[in-house]
């Protein structure tokens, strides 16, 4: 493994911020005699370019190249937004924030596109804390809605993210009883703001909730995500089991979530979704540090950040156990995509609002595998909403692909053709490994907040985010 340092000696580089398109010309040299054990003694050089930095980002945590385009999509954990950088058009960087960003992209930690680049999902490192608001008109929401772990990954269309469906500010303290996003449509007229009352239908018609296409709420404090198939994704659940007060007590684990058909922009039906927990796969979250994920050759790789290792598992292995069956007595959908049911109120003879705790409890009581639930013991995690299937997988095949003393705090992951990369948030290094596990290069970035990684399809470029300098940088791999 050769170490590539970021200066002409053993010290860190004197990096500078640059606007998009500004590329420092200085190469980074390997200092003879300063390399780590196992690295080459031959000098080597690598180009590091500053792609974009400054106010266009706010604590960038993850990034990915949108398939079929030259766009780099970046999550900003600091202000619940995304930044899009077109690598082919210098000066094109733009920051986008959904009107409901504090819920739908709440401290976004990871981002993953589907195969065609049309849809993407984000993981949210949040427990639905609803920051900077005190509910006055409906004070019960201060205890029932805030910090209630009603949080998980969110699905969007790349073309309409932050553009469609939003015509009220999320933080407005308008009448909103209950514990869900919005009050039901049967709110009486005297409780409905005048601008939302429809004379033609004699109903309170609340505006839609942001530009999101779908959202699930069983994986709070999630720090990573990767796409599987259609509208299905793997996520890292940093909350794990909860105590009697619904407080996260861990340990974390891996989960697979399948949105199936989306409820279209701004609506709220999640009853066709499938959640599968690989509940005994070890994962330890570190607050403020994203954890990368990717799929390769039938394995899901993920950074176990708190444990200091990168692990992988086979999602098609292990012992499947259905915990709660479909609420409507029909076979659960798997791997579907496209528009579906909009709202729970549209389900004839349905169970009621699928987000309501009493409705969820009735579903678990009626359709739950109570023997399996009892057998799970303290690993039983009650679902937060009514789903078409809720299951566990135990004893999936897994391996550690790095030794525990190689990486201090693994964060971002990126896959190349014949190797893969991991960033070490504790040291600012980026390490490369062949697929057979052979260590390769070590890049000393000279940055103290290295987070997410992304490679380009041609294998020539490695991009990394740095949350301390609010910047995105490129390493030339050729």
Residue range 426-453, pLDDT digits in tens: 999 999 999 999 999 999 998 999 999 9
What are the angstrom distances between the C-alpha of 128 and each of 7, 112, 124? 42, 21, 9
Residue with the bigger pLDDT between 191 and 69: it is 69
Two tokens at 217? 């709420």
Percentage of residues in the chain having pLDDT higher than 70: 85
CB-CB neighbours of 357 under 10 Å:
16
Which of 99-103, 111-115, 130-134, 272-276 has the least mean pLDDT?
130-134
Confirm if 300 and 393 have CB atoms less than 8 A apart.
no
Which ranges of 240-350 would DSSP assign to H, the alpha helix? none
Q: DSSP 3-state assignment of 423?
A: strand
Model pLDDT, residue 247 = 92
Q: Report the distance separating Cα 5 and Cα 442, nearest Å.
A: 8
Model pLDDT, residue 265 = 84
Peptide bond into 251 cis (omega under 30): yes
CB-CB neighbours of 320 under 10 Å:
11
Please check the confidence at residue 38 and state whether its pLDDT lies above 50: no
Instruction: For residues 15-30, give the mean pLDDT.
Output: 28
Q: What residue ranges in 218-359 does DSSP mark as E strands?
A: 222-229, 232-237, 252-258, 274-283, 293-296, 299-304, 309-313, 319-324
Residues 377-386 have pLDDT tens digits of: 999 999 999 9
Please check the confidence at residue 456 and state whether its pLDDT lies above 90: yes
Model pLDDT, residue 176 = 53
What are the angstrom distances between the C-alpha of 206 and each of 33, 203, 288? 67, 9, 34
Q: DSSP 3-state assignment of 352?
A: coil
Mean pLDDT, all residues of the chain: 85
Q: Report the distance separating Cα 63 and Cα 370, nearest Å.
A: 41
Q: Report the distance separating Cα 477 and Cα 474, nearest Å.
A: 9
Residue 81, classified by CB atoms within 10 Å of its CB into exposed (0-12), middle (13-18) or buried (19+), is: buried
Q: Report the distance separating Cα 164 and Cα 81, nearest Å.
A: 15
Model pLDDT, residue 7 = 41
Model pLDDT, residue 185 = 62
Model pLDDT, residue 17 = 29
Read off φ and ψ for residue 120, nearest 5 degrees: -145, 160
CB-CB neighbours of 131 under 10 Å:
11
Model pLDDT, residue 126 = 97
Please check the confidence at residue 421 and state whether its pLDDT lies above 50: yes
Model pLDDT, residue 182 = 56
Q: Report the distance separating Cα 4 and Cα 2, nearest Å.
A: 6
Please check the confidence at residue 274 and state whether its pLDDT lies above 90: yes
Nearby residues of 357 by Cβ (< 8 Å), 6 or more positions away = 179
Residues 311-370 have pLDDT tens digits of: 999 999 999 999 999 999 887 778 899 999 988 878 888 888 888 889 999 999 999 999
Model pLDDT, residue 30 = 26
Nearest to 102 by CA among 117, 118, 81: 81
Residues 174-208 have pLDDT tens digits of: 555 555 555 566 778 887 778 778 898 888 876 66
Nearby residues of 262 by Cβ (< 8 Å), 6 or more positions away = 155, 213, 214, 231, 337, 338, 339, 340
Please check the confidence at residue 234 and state whether its pLDDT lies above 50: yes
Nearest to 391 by CA among 334, 441, 434, 438: 334
Residue with the bigger pLDDT between 166 and 92: it is 92
Q: Report the distance separating Cα 293 and Cα 149, nearest Å.
A: 22
Confirm if 210 and 195 have CB atoms less than 8 A apart.
no
Q: Report the distance separating Cα 301 and Cα 399, nearest Å.
A: 9
Instruction: For residues 78-92, give the mean pLDDT.
Output: 94
Residue 264, classified by CB atoms within 10 Å of its CB into exposed (0-12), middle (13-18) or buried (19+), is: buried
């Amino acid at each position: 493994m050769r170490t590539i340092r970021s200066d002409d000696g053993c010290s860190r580089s004197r990096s500078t911020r640059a606007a998009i398109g500004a590329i420092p010309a200085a190469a980074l040299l390997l200092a003879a005699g300063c390399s780590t054990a196992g690295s080459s003694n031959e000098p080597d050089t690598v180009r590091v370019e500053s792609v974009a930095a400054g106010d266009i980002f706010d604590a960038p945590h993850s990034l990915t190249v949108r398939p079929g385009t030259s766009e780099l999509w970046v999550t900003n954990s600091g202000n619940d937004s995304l930044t899009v950088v077109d690598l082919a058009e210098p000066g094109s960087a733009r920051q986008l924030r959904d009107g409901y960003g504090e819920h739908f992209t709440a401290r976004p930690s990871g981002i993953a596109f589907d195969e065609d680049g049309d849809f993407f999902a984000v993981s949210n490192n949040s427990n639905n804390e609803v920051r900077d608001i005190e509910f006055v008109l409906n004070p019960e929401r201060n205890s029932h809605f805030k910090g209630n772990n009603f949080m998980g990954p969110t699905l969007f269309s790349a073309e309409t993210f932050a553009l469609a469906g939003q015509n009220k500010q999320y933080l407005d303290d308008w009448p909103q009883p209950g514990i869900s996003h919005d009050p039901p449509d049967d709110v009486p007229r005297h409780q409905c703001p005048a601008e939302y009352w429809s004379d033609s239908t004699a109903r309170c018609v609340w505006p839609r909730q942001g530009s999101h296409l779908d959202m699930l709420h069983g994986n709070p404090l999630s720090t990573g995500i990767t796409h599987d198939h259609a509208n299905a994704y793997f996520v890292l659940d940093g909350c794990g089991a909860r105590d009697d007060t619904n407080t996260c007590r861990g340990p974390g684990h891996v989960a697979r979530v399948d949105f199936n058909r989306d409820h279209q922009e701004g609506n709220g039906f999640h009853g066709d979704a499938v959640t599968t927990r690989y509940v005994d796969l070890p994962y330890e979250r570190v607050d403020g540090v994203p954890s990368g994920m990717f799929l390769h050759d039938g394995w899901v790789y993920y950074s176990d950040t708190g444990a200091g290792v990168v692990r992988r598992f086979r999602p098609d292995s292990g012992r499947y156990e259905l915990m709660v069956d479909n609420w409507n007595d029909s076979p659960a959908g798997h791997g579907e995509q496209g528009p579906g049911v909009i709202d729970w109120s549209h389900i004839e003879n349905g169970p009621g609002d699928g987000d309501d705790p009493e409705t969820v409890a009735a579903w678990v009581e009626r359709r739950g595998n109570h023997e399996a639930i009892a057998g799970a013991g303290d690993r039983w995690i009650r679902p937060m909403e009514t789903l078409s299937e809720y299951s566990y997988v135990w004893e999936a095949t897994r391996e550690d692909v790095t030794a525990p003393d190689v990486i201090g705090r693994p964060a971002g992951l990126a896959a190349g053709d014949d190797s893969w990369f991991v960033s070490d948030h504790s040291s600012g290094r980026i390490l490369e490994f062949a697929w057979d596990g052979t260590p390769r290069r070590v890049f000393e970035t000279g940055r103290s907040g290295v987070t997410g990684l992304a490679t380009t399809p041609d294998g020539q470029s490695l991009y990394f985010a740095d949350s301390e300098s609010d910047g995105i940088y490129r390493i030339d791999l050729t």
